[in-house]
């Protein structure tokens, strides 16, 4: 499809395990964002890529969280030693560069729901 694709849609894991969440953005979108959304809350910014580089990773909560985008397209969010508090919906969004288009229209995927038991 033409939209942002996230896999898996649901992931259940045990505390302490390692998890990878994948995001396939819209073709041609240079900007890619990861957000985390807990129940009843707004999306919380984690990290933003412009091309292959992480332009802003100030939202990553700690060093257990890491994200890559090696070829400037697909991105993977990696969580080490998962904790129960990591349980949330992880949303990915892509766009043309805000600085280029002047628009904040982000195109979101349907998210990956992570449950840590």
Comparison of 1 and 40: residue with beta carbon closer to another protein:
40
Q: How far is CA 74 from the centre of its chain?
A: 11
Rounded CA-CA distance 56/48 in Å is 5
Long-range contact pairs involving 98-107 (C-beta distance under 8 Å, separation at least 24): 98/31, 106/33, 107/3, 107/4, 107/25, 107/26, 107/29
Comparison of 83 and 110: residue with beta carbon closer to another protein:
110
DSSP class per residue in 39-78: TTSPPEEEEEEETTEEEE-TT--STTEEEE-TTSS-EEEE
Q: Specify the stretch interacting with another protein by CB under 8 A; choose among 21-29, 60-68, 76-84, 103-111.
A: 103-111
40 binding another protein? (CB under 8 A): yes
Ranges within 61-90 binding another protein (CB under 8 A)? none
Q: Specify the stretch interacting with another protein by CB under 8 A; choose among 14-22, 62-70, 71-79, 104-112.
A: 104-112
26 binding another protein? (CB under 8 A): no
Comparison of 8 and 16: residue with beta carbon closer to another protein:
8
| From candidates 59, 72, 74, 76, binder to another protein by CB under 8 A | 59
């Amino acid at each position: 499809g033409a939209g942002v694709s996230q896999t898996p849609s649901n992931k259940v894991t045990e505390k302490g395990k390692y998890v990878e969440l994948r995001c396939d953005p819209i073709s041609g979108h240079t900007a890619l964002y990861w957000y985390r959304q807990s129940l009843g809350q707004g999306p919380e910014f984690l990290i933003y890529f412009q091309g292959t580089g992480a332009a802003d990773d100030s939202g990553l909560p700690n060093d257990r969280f890491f994200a890559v985008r090696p070829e400037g397209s697909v991105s993977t969010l990696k969580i080490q030693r998962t904790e129960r508090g990591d349980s949330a919906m992880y949303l990915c969004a892509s766009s043309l560069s805000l600085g280029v288009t002047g628009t904040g229209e982000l195109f979101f995927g349907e998210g990956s729901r992570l449950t840590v038991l």
